[in-house]
Amino acid sequence: MEKIRFLIQGETGLVVELGNKIDPKVNTRVQELSQLIQTKYSHLIETVIPTYCSLLVFFDPLQIARNELINRIKDIVATMPEEQSEATGSKTVVVPTLYGGEAGPDIEAVAKHNNLDIEEVIHIHSSVAYRIYMLGFTPGFPYLGGMSEKIAAPRLNTPRTKIPAGSVGIAGTQTGLYPIESPGGWQLIGRTPLKVFNPSVQQPFLYAAGDFLQFEPISALEYVHIQQEVAQGRFCPQTISKKEAGK
Q: Is residue 207, in this structure, part of any structural domain at all?
A: yes
d(CA 34, CA 50): 7
Q: How many separate domains does the chain show?
A: 2
Residues whose CB falls within 8 Å of the CB of residue 182, separated by 6 or more in sequence, listed in order: 138, 162, 163
Identify whether residues 118 and 209 lie together within a single domain.
Answer: yes
Identify whether residues 140 and 238 lie together within a single domain.
Answer: yes
Is the CA virtual torsion 38, 41, 43, 44 positive or negative? negative
Q: Is residue 86, in this structure, part of any structural domain at all?
A: no
For 129, the enclosing helix (H) or strand (E) is none
Q: Is residue 114, in this structure, part of any structural domain at all?
A: yes
Identify whether residues 56 and 111 lie together within a single domain.
Answer: no
What per-residue confidence (pLDDT) applies to 1? 52
Identify whether residues 121 and 240 lie together within a single domain.
Answer: yes
Cα 73 from chain centre: 25
Q: Is residue 87, in this structure, part of any structural domain at all?
A: no
What per-residue confidence (pLDDT) applies to 245? 44
**DSSP string over 161-217:** EEE-TTEEEEEBTEEEE-SSSEEE-SEEEEE-----B-TTSSS-BS--TT-EEEEEE
Identify whether residues 123 and 166 lie together within a single domain.
Answer: yes
d(CA 172, CA 195): 25
CA distances (Å), 119 to each of 125, 135, 136, 186, 246, in order? 10, 29, 30, 20, 19
Identify whether residues 96 and 61 lie together within a single domain.
Answer: no
What per-residue confidence (pLDDT) applies to 241? 64
Q: Mind listing the pLDDT tens digit of every residue in the chain (247 residues)?
A: 568 999 999 999 999 999 888 888 899 999 999 999 999 998 999 999 999 899 999 999 999 999 999 999 999 999 888 765 555 557 999 999 999 999 999 999 999 999 999 999 999 999 999 999 988 888 889 999 899 999 999 999 999 999 999 999 999 999 999 999 999 999 999 999 999 998 888 888 999 888 999 999 999 999 999 999 999 988 988 987 655 544 4
CATH number of the domain that 69 lies in? 3.30.1360.40
d(CA 87, CA 31): 7
- Enclosing domain of residue 52: 5-79
d(CA 167, CA 187): 10
pTM over 0.85: no
Q: Is residue 84, in this structure, part of any structural domain at all?
A: no
Q: Is residue 191, in this structure, part of any structural domain at all?
A: yes
CATH number of the domain that 195 lies in? 2.40.100.10
Identify whether residues 74 and 135 lie together within a single domain.
Answer: no
Identify whether residues 131 and 222 lie together within a single domain.
Answer: yes
Closest CA to 192 of 241, 235, 135, 246: 235
d(CA 62, CA 11): 11
Q: Is residue 164, in this structure, part of any structural domain at all?
A: yes
Q: Where is the domain boundary, 55, 79, 103? A: 79
What per-residue confidence (pLDDT) applies to 84? 57
97-113 tens-digit pLDDT: 999 999 999 999 999 99
Identify whether residues 102 and 222 lie together within a single domain.
Answer: yes
Quick one: 178 exposed, middle or buried, by C-beta within 10 A (0-12, 13-18, 19+)? Answer: buried
Q: Is residue 141, in this structure, part of any structural domain at all?
A: yes
Q: Where is the domain boundary, 79, 110, 126? A: 79
Q: Where is the domain boundary, 79, 105, 123? A: 79
Do residues 196 and 115 lie in contact, with contact meaning Cβ atoms separated by under 8 Å? no
Identify whether residues 120 and 211 lie together within a single domain.
Answer: yes
Identify whether residues 49 and 100 lie together within a single domain.
Answer: no
Q: Around 88, how many Cα atoms within 13 Å sit in the side-chain half-sphere? A: 10
Identify whether residues 18 and 74 lie together within a single domain.
Answer: yes
